[in-house]
Structure 1
Amino acid sequence: MQNFHSYCISASGEERSEGDMQARFPYWSFTKTAIAICALKLSENGNVDLNNCIDGEAYTLRQLLNHTAGLPDYGALKTYHEAVAAGENPWPREKLLSAALARGMLFAPGAGWAYSNIGYMLAREHIEAASGLSFAKLVADIITTPLRLTSIAPVTTREEFAQLHCEAAGKYPPGWVYHGCLAGNVRDAARLLHGLFTGKLLSAASMAEMQVTIPLGGALEGRPWTECGYALGLMSGPMGTAGRSVGHSGGGPSCVNAVYHFPDLREPVTGACFTDGHHEGVAETELGRLVLNMA
């Protein structure tokens, strides 16, 4: 039987929840949304330029954030998955990059789209270097302290990961998530995105910039999307009758999540759903059902 942990909040503050609101889960790729928020805030403050080429490369920070830099992804490496399954310690950064870039770039920056965790690793490293702050400190200063979200923090060791609510807890070193892995409870995941879309984190201009979406096509098999696209750290597109959704899904060993804002409902709703398994579509479909029940 599927175990769901879900929380939704409407624009007027109505809340609904099910499951364990105290348990902390790995946020997996929802961490990308936090990286993008931090990058946009640093851009507002003049610490980074989204359109400048970084570190002597041909791609920009914007292209890293919207997956148009042309970088491959380590998720395509058979040896990566074998090492994770065997419980090995994460590879050194240079070994990872050497393996992933063995065949070079996928395309010239700006000439295509390809999802890349490596791109987000480089984006995180860039904003850390530009600000002089760790990712943990950036998240605290820009996101969790202003929103009073007390459960969210990066997990970096097996011991920290062992405290999380998922089957892989204690067996998985989170360093395999090279862009960093935030963890927190389901309520704080939804409230992070709710805070973003209620104007508590970024200026109106930055929010507009963050939502400029690259269309990527139609329906995805096994998932509720009828169209899909990617903006800056945000997946975007309609989820069937729930309408347009903006947020991010995430998945890793033994658990998945979906954290989305639904702006086109009679009253906008933001929600998060975490569950066991390996297919993000299960969490996305359940979240769509929940927000329609609130509409």
Structure 2
Amino acid sequence: MTPPRRIFTHRITDHGSDSPSVAGSEIFPYWSFTKTALAICALRMVEQGLLSLDMPLAGHDFSLRQLLNHTSGLPDYGALPAYREAVARNEEPWPATRLLEVAMAQGRLFGPGAGWAYSNVGYLLVRDLTEQASGQSFAQNIKLLICDPLGLGSIALASSRQQFGRVLWGGAQSYHPGWVYHGCLTGTAADAARLLHGLFAGRLLGPEMLAQMCQCQPLGGALPGRPWTECGYGLGVMSGSWGAAGRVIGHTGGGPFSVNAVYHFPDMDQPLTVASFTDGQEEGIAEHAAAARAHPA
């Protein structure tokens, strides 16, 4: 018999947390919600004049903006058979140089700005850019630019099996977080919600840069099994509508054994943010749980 699914959520408004009884000190992998945090770091460096959003990167024909909104034309590595087989065998992660060689052997998908394709390779390059521009590691940038300003004590970058061992789900025991090449943040559901809510409260980026981040490229309508009625992608954020819940901005993430959905709901009478974490691989379950917490039937 399949064990019952465990769902952890945390909801926060401008007035504080709202009944966080179903989530506490449990630590979860943030998976691709890490992209939102990475984009915040990159955009903060644009504000500081350390990076350019629209100039072509040195040695490349695409810009930081195109990496952040997945319009660079770079391929992905997640569906590569050799990658998936190595992860399934619980091998040690490949060196980044090998990963890039294998991924780029697929060829460019299109010219910069000529299409849209989700690319973890692109976010690996964003991580490299932020580290080069700041002279600090991604973990240090996350601490200085996000965690310290918001007082987020649980969030940490997991780069070893030992660091990943604090994750709640049992599947973490047979997974090396290094297989997430742009990095995999871990932390509580509460801190995930506080991170995104702090962003939209204007505590991490200025109004102009936040508006740039939220500029959405429309990608389509309803998605089967998921709450999306309209969907698109900004700079490190998924954006669209979830029916009666209205507009949503945030990110869904998933790995071999768990999924999450962290979203801001700006159209509510009182804007709020919900983080939802569950086991399994069905992203729609985490998204529907977030929608239900934001807009109870």
Both proteins in one fold, TM over 0.5: yes
Query: How far off is 1:166 after superposition?
Result: 1.1
Q: Is the 8 A contact 2:160 2:177 kept in 1?
A: yes
Q: Are positions 1:80 and 2:83 aligned together?
A: yes
Corresponding residue to 1:126 among 126, 129, 151? 129
Q: Deviations over 1:143-201 (max 9, x none)?
A: 00000000001000011111111121221110000000000000000000010001111
Query: How far off is 1:14 after superposition?
Result: 4.8
Where 2:78 maps in the other structure, the secondary structure is helix
Tell me which stretches of 4 or more aligned residues in structure 1 moved more than 3 Å: none
- 1:223 equivalent in structure 2: 226
Q: Deviations over 1:44-101 (max 9, x none)?
A: 1101001121231111111000000000100120111111001011111121111111
Q: How far apart are the structure 1 equivalents of 2:267 and 2:14? A: 12
Matched residue type, 2:150: L
**Alignment gaps of 5+ in structure 1:** none
Q: Is the 8 A contact 2:68 2:236 kept in 1?
A: yes
- 2:28 equivalent in structure 1: 25
Normalising by structure 1, we get a TM-score of 0.97
Matched residue type, 1:108: G
Q: Is the 8 A contact 1:4 1:18 kept in 2?
A: no
- 2:119 equivalent in structure 1: 116
Q: How far apart are the structure 2 equivalents of 1:12 and 1:159? A: 36
Query: How far off is 1:279 after superposition?
Result: 1.2
Q: How far apart are the structure 1 equivalents of 2:256 and 2:58? A: 32
Q: How far apart are the structure 1 equivalents of 2:289 and 2:197? A: 18
For 1:154-233, what aligned pairs fall within 5 Å after superposition? 154-233=157-236
- 2:64 equivalent in structure 1: 61
- 1:39 equivalent in structure 2: 42
Where 1:69 maps in the other structure, the secondary structure is coil
Q: Are positions 1:253 and 2:256 aligned together?
A: yes
- 1:235 equivalent in structure 2: 238
- 2:6 equivalent in structure 1: 3
Q: How far apart are the structure 2 equivalents of 1:257 and 1:173? A: 18
Q: How far apart are the structure 2 equivalents of 1:242 and 1:16? A: 19
Q: How far apart are the structure 1 equivalents of 2:134 and 2:172? A: 32
Q: Is the 8 A contact 2:23 2:190 kept in 1?
A: no
- 2:283 equivalent in structure 1: 280
Q: Deviations over 1:186-227 (max 9, x none)?
A: 000000001000111110011111101000001111111001
- 1:264 equivalent in structure 2: 267
Where 2:239 maps in the other structure, the secondary structure is strand
Q: Is the 8 A contact 1:167 1:255 kept in 2?
A: no
Matched residue type, 2:99: L
Normalising by structure 2, we get a TM-score of 0.97
Query: How far off is 1:243 after superposition?
Result: 0.8
Matched residue type, 2:205: L
Instruction: Call closer, same or farther: CA 1:146–1:253 in 2, change over 3 Å.
Output: same
Where 2:94 maps in the other structure, the secondary structure is coil
Matched residue type, 2:287: E
Where 1:76 maps in the other structure, the secondary structure is coil
Q: How far apart are the structure 1 equivalents of 2:238 and 2:205? A: 18
Q: Is the 8 A contact 2:278 2:286 kept in 1?
A: yes
Q: Is the 8 A contact 2:61 2:112 kept in 1?
A: yes
